[in-house]
Amino acid sequence: MSTGGELLSVDPQELQFPFELKKQISCSMQLANKTGHHVAFKVKTTNPKKYCVRPNTGIVSPHSTCDVVVTMQAQKEAPPDMQCKDKFLLQSAVASGEYQGASAKEITPEMFSKETGNQVEECKLRVSYVAPREPPSPVREGSEEGTSPRVSVSENGTANPLDSNTISRASVEPQENTSEELLKRESSRGRGGISFMYVILFGLVGILLGYLIKKT
């Protein structure tokens, strides 16, 4: 949300810092000059030792913007209930002809004094602490999204993906074929065993008959 006075609009109106202990944290805001004049600005804070503002003064050309970075120094302890009472004040004033090309060092406090008759606007900015953003969780290994489809190799050496239906058929059909083959083998073994016994019996009978004939 971009709001402000007739000279400069400020975005955002609230400076939000993802608070972390013992770490410098930066927040940026954009100043937009909506007029056809050169506009000088100055940024103040209720706690100057805690924050560093770059640039804290400057001149914004007509119909242009300027980015301001506010850096909070590393904090050793967190405030109660993560509430911050610090505030910022943005002052803006029309720069006269002699100050249009002035540098930040040449901007004087008198430019922002209403007593001199200058058109001065003020915009108050609040400060709030927010929870730091958590990094996205990595995809677990072995999950459905991370696994690759199973592949079978055909006789000509080409690889073909296997779907779930193919896998289920492959796991069932061999069992049926195996059971049928076992029955056939058992039956053939049974028939082979019986015929072999007949051969032995016939051989014994022939030997006995030959022995009896010799005796007679």
Mean pLDDT of the chain: 77
What is d(CA 153, CA 178) in angstroms, rounded to the nearest whole number?
A: 22
pLDDT-based confidence at residue 187 (cuts at 50, 70, 90)? low
Looking at the structure, tell me whether residues 56 and 156 fall in a common domain. no
Looking at the structure, tell me whether residues 49 and 124 fall in a common domain. yes
Sequence-separated (6 or more) residues with CB below 8 Å from residue 183: none
Q: Examine residue 120 and state whether it is found in any structural domain, yes or no.
A: yes
Could you say which of 82, 98, 130 is where a domain stops? Answer: 130
Looking at the structure, tell me whether residues 22 and 102 fall in a common domain. yes
Q: CATH number, domain at 88?
A: 2.60.40.10
Looking at the structure, tell me whether residues 65 and 25 fall in a common domain. yes
Predicted confidence (pLDDT) per residue in 109-128, tens digit:
888 988 878 889 999 999 99
Looking at the structure, tell me whether residues 24 and 120 fall in a common domain. yes
Predicted confidence (pLDDT) per residue in 141-174, tens digit:
555 555 554 544 444 554 455 454 544 444 444 4
pLDDT-based confidence at residue 210 (cuts at 50, 70, 90)? confident
Q: Residue 149: what pLDDT?
A: 47
Please report the sign of the dihedral spanned by the C-alpha atoms of residue 111, residue 117, residue 118, residue 123. positive
pLDDT-based confidence at residue 55 (cuts at 50, 70, 90)? very high
The CA–CA distances, whole Å, from 29 to 58, 65, 85, 137, 199 equal 14, 10, 19, 30, 107
Burial of 70 by CB count in 10 Å (0-12 exposed, 13-18 middle, 19+ buried)? buried
Looking at the structure, tell me whether residues 126 and 198 fall in a common domain. no
Q: Examine residue 22 and state whether it is found in any structural domain, yes or no.
A: yes
Q: What is the pTM assigned to this prediction? A: 0.59
Q: Examine residue 135 and state whether it is found in any structural domain, yes or no.
A: no
Beta-sheet pairing, 65-72 with 120-130: unpaired
As for how many domains the chain has, the answer is 2
What is d(CA 209, CA 74) in angstroms, rounded to the nearest whole number?
A: 117
